[in-house]
Amino acid sequence: MTKYMLYLEPYTFLKRDEEKVLIVNTLSGKCFVVNAFVELNQLVDRIQTNEKSYSVQLDASEIENSQYSEFISIVRSTYSGDVVKLEGQSLPPVILPPRVNNRLDIAKLSNNKDRSIGDEAKDYIQEVTVVLTNKCSFDCTDCSKHYRQFAACTKAFGDLMELSLGQVKKFFKQFNPQRHPAVAIIGGDITQYSELTDALLYFASINAKKSLLLHANHIQRFVNSVGNNMPSSISLKVNIPPDCTEPFFLEFVPRLIAQYEVMLQFIVESEKDFLKANALANKLELENVSFKPFFNGHNFEFFTNQVFLSHDDIICERYSKNDIFLRQSINSYDFGKITIIPNGEIVANPNFGSIGDVSTSIGDLYANEVENGKSWFRTRTEQPCNNCVYQWLCPSPSNYELAIGKPNLCHIFE
């Protein structure tokens, strides 16, 4: 009987659930979905459990099986694989499926007794956020919640306090000056930090991307305090809350953007907030703006309409092999990021516990997060994501999932 081999190219990613089979051609980046049947699911399982090759042998009757036809047609027409006739005793080609070789795999790192987990830690730290102080005279609504969803100043972290600049310098000395991670500087009200002038000069000397984050309420005080002494190598980001009035915005923002390189980040809690923010930005013809949705506990509908992903949002993206591998391995929002809070403790994500403090070596911080942390390796392994065909196409879990208390921000499983 004539035998055939159905094979998939090594750049083709395959995943199924009970209802769908997903084919991702990571060369073109395109996705294709086929309705699943029992026999097609069995065929996919045969391909995925073949440890020797990314293929399966079929006879003539299977090639003609109507439950396979759409799947085979898409595989061939999209150059995601092919069907070849096996001649005589010739050996079929060996094609290996795409498999992630994760240097950062927790089990591998923990079991490798030949080296410390922290050996290459400095290379993996991508950004250090430094909360210099939590002192602030304002009592902003949701101050204790904003920073848990996106970068924001806060009076949280207990008693009012500030970091010693000497401690910060000592910690940063551990990094290679030529490969220093990015630095994000935050308060409280940053102008209440007692060593602000020296701190700005120090951070300006670091050979890395640097930014300083303000709240709109701090603009006037910052301009009066720092004036023209703001180092040009440090960019400025300003969070604009929904209750920011138009007169205030039109008075202070033009002054700010005339003096500094500024990114305006509008916090929005509703469609109304977004329209208002967009109108203000258009009135000043601003281009360097972004919008930060905030879940306040009462605007779930806004998130479902504006933040949640639809089937089309997911399927219309273009995906590389690296995109999928990264989503299987790490949290792309959190990995490599740490935050130093005013009491000197260090967290990988403000929503989770401490992994050390400013006296802890970078290697030990890295090891603590790899072995016991909940942030860097938080991937879509919870229900319903772990049973979804789009599991590794969706972005990594963000802080919004934590704030809302819902593991999936999509319309696939509602």
Q: Tokens 């590389």 identify what position? A: 320
Nearest CA among 155, 134, 130, 131 for reference residue 143: 155
**Tens of pLDDT along 250-300?**
888 888 888 888 999 999 999 999 999 999 999 999 989 999 999 999 999
Residue 333, judged by CB atoms within 10 A of its CB (0-12, 13-18, 19+), counts as middle
Alpha helices in 321-408 (DSSP H): 321-329, 362-372, 399-404
| 363: Cβ contacts below 8 Å, ≥ 6 apart | 116, 117, 118, 119, 121, 122
Four-residue CA torsion sign, 34, 38, 41, 46: negative
Q: What is the DSSP string of 43-97?
A: HHHHHHT-SS-SEEEEEHHHHT-HHHHHHHHHHHHTTSEEEEEEPTTPPPPP-PP
CATH of domain 127-298: 3.20.20.70
The predicted-structure confidence for 56-87, as pLDDT tens digits, reads as follows 999 888 888 888 999 999 999 999 999 998 87
The answer, yes or no, to whether residue 108 has pLDDT greater than 80, is no
Residue 119 scores a pLDDT above 80: no
Torsion of Cα atoms, 389 then 392 then 395 then 398, to 10°: 90
Rounded to 5 degrees, φ, ψ at 338 are -135, 155
Which candidate, 66, 24, 68, 60, places its Cα nearest to that of 43? 68
What is d(CA 356, CA 369) in angstroms, rounded to the nearest whole number? 9
Looking at residue 31, its amino acid is: C
Tell me what the mean pLDDT of segment 220-224 comes to: 90
Omega before 242 within 30 of 0, i.e. cis: no
State the pLDDT at residue 396. 97
What residues form DSSP beta bridges with 25?
12, 30
Claim: this prediction has a pTM higher than 0.85: yes
The pLDDT tens digits for 12-67 are 999 999 999 999 999 999 999 999 889 999 999 999 999 889 999 998 888 888 88
Question: What pLDDT is stored for residue 146 in this prediction?
Answer: 97
Range list of H helices, 195-299? 196-205, 219-226, 246-259, 271-283
Domain layout of the chain by residue ranges: 3-86, 127-298
Question: Which element (helix H / strand E) includes 312?
Answer: helix 311-315
Say whether pLDDT at 115 is over 60: no
Whole-angstrom distance, CA of residue 414 vs CA of residue 410: 7
